[in-house]
Chain A
């Protein structure tokens, strides 16, 4: 009965040796912003591939990327457009690419943030919509909210938007148009008042000094 035991041991070894490489799905890796990957890098490293497209005026938004299930997602400028790109993380070969409406977002941080990807494969990415150019979006939203939205209103809307694409094929799923959803309206306000938390008033406002 030694053979089955040997096979069982080898099976265990295989499982240990074939661990799934880690993903990096949002800014600083995860919701705790740990900045830590489970992957162990073996140094030295060598550069294996690059992506270096820019717009004609030299603009590039490529300052963040996310990786999930062997694919890397990032925004890049090329041919006067900004694109959401999904590429093979090992080779850089494009799997799909989707054009975004605005080549450069006016707020520098929004422009440089790049996408984030959820566990179910929703890719969130920022854009700025121009009035009259939102046909794809209008159709996706009309399908998601039947009878609740006027197609004309969506087509005419403009402003900052959070897009969602599906990770596998890059299809438009939905988006959140900030102005249409009331971001500029009268909103609830959380006021951080001193009286609410007695502990706060007792601790010094500076973090400097000797540890407690």
Chain B
């Protein structure tokens, strides 16, 4: 048994069921009160023996709940996006030529960034039922993300008949008696050299800020801008250009605002959040009105981090946890006002 440790990526919780992809091709589902299910997900290369076609490498891609299954994607080898519907079953998959961002699902739609080392060259939407492309932005050619071809060794299991069974006395046609062994089947692993496409910048979801869907608006980073798109058609509602070398590191929203963590990069490539940027990198938090992209607030922060919004607070995690709350005093307790009036 191969004993290679499996490391998991972002978990998905659907009720009490935990799912995650590994750094490898493993997809795990676990309900602590019920079952555990492991499966390998494989996207064989065309015209290649399925047994030796190289395996996928998820890099911990974040699975997403869809109306008809679970969305999985891989952009490290033979790239794909898929909806899997059960144990070892797919609804559909499509081959890709670009890196993938962190997806979201809304109704019967999957929306994700794509293209470039952080999957922020464009945004696309496909339907969850068949993977049919609904729209993509921008309406221009986004170059294929480059891959190299590496040669790897893939074991091919073959069944060979070997003389290692029971011994028998056998009489030959010429009358001579000899000792002979039975032929028995034995599985052998034969190493085969196979080509594996390998992305130069795999696992773009490590560097992708995410996308949000608020009402009928999808907002994300695409082609150097923060864009708000009509969710049904992909038509532009508003655009806010990013400054030179600026990149969105995390993106979340409330019903009224989109809140971003933005850095002015000193490197050409964007780092994952857990890698500290070069000294001198400037980072700030930015809030924009969802209706028109107008700036509502801006504040410098020491380092890029991930954002969440909960309990009426904004939290930034950049290796340190920062909690932000409104400068305004909290609203008066309405129940007390009601009691005073009611008692008169």
Contacts and interface: CB of A to CB of B under 8 A. Distances in A.
Partners in one complex: yes
A124 B13 contact: yes
Contacts of A44: 297, 299, 326-327
B82 A207 contact: no
Contacts of B212: 34-36
Given A6-B342, A22-B310, A63-B318, A92 B131 contact: no
Given A105-B7, A210-B139, A28 B104 contact: yes
A65 B315 contact: yes
B89 A208 contact: no
A92 B144 CA distance: 46
A57 interface: no
A187 interface: yes
Contact of A92 (B40, B41, B213, B323): B323
B93 A192 contact: yes
Interface string B178-212: 00000000000000000000000000001000111
Contact of A47 (B40, B41, B287, B322): B322
Interface stretch (A131-139, A147-155, A173-181): A173-181
B253 to A, nearest CB: 5
Which of A26, A36, A67, A164: most chain B CB closer than 10 A?
Answer: A36
Contacts of A183: 6, 26, 28, 38
B167 to A, nearest CB: 32
B96 A27 contact: no
Interface in A18-51: 18, 21-29, 31-51
Nearest to B338: A10
A146 interface: no
Contacts of B26: 183, 187
Contacts of B256: 40
A35 B106 CA distance: 12
B296 interface: yes
B46 interface: yes
B296 to A, nearest CB: 5
Contacts of A208: 98, 115, 122, 136, 140-142
B106 A32 contact: yes
Interface in B205-261: 206, 210-214, 233-234, 251-257, 259
Contacts of A61: 274
Which of B10, B137, B253: most chain A CB closer than 10 A?
Answer: B10
Q: Give the interface SS of chain A, mostly helix, strand, loop or mixed.
A: loop
B300 to A, nearest CB: 11
A47 B323 contact: yes
B262 interface: no
A60 B255 CA distance: 32
A1 interface: no
Given A40-B256, A206-B144, A208-B136, A22 B88 contact: no
A27 B63 CA distance: 10
Interface in A118-135: 118-120, 122, 124, 126
Given A35-B211, A35-B251, A118-B16, A45 B5 contact: no
B152 interface: no
Contact of A124 (B11, B39, B312): B11
A119 B281 CA distance: 39
Contacts of A173: 32
B12 interface: yes
Contact of A179 (B5, B62, B327): B5
B268 interface: no
Given A107-B60, A181-B38, 11 more contacts: A6-B342, A31-B13, A32-B64, A35-B104, A37-B254, A39-B310, A40-B257, A89-B311, A176-B32, A182-B38, A192-B90
Interface of A: 3, 6-7, 10-11, 13-14, 17-18, 21-29, 31-52, 54, 60-67, 70, 72, 74, 76, 89-90, 92, 105-114, 116-120, 122, 124, 126, 159-160, 162, 164, 173-174, 176, 178-179, 181-185, 187-194, 196-197, 199-200, 203-212
13 contacts: A23-B311, A37-B310, A67-B315, A92-B321, A105-B7, A109-B272, A118-B16, A173-B32, A176-B36, A179-B3, A188-B40, A200-B94, A206-B97
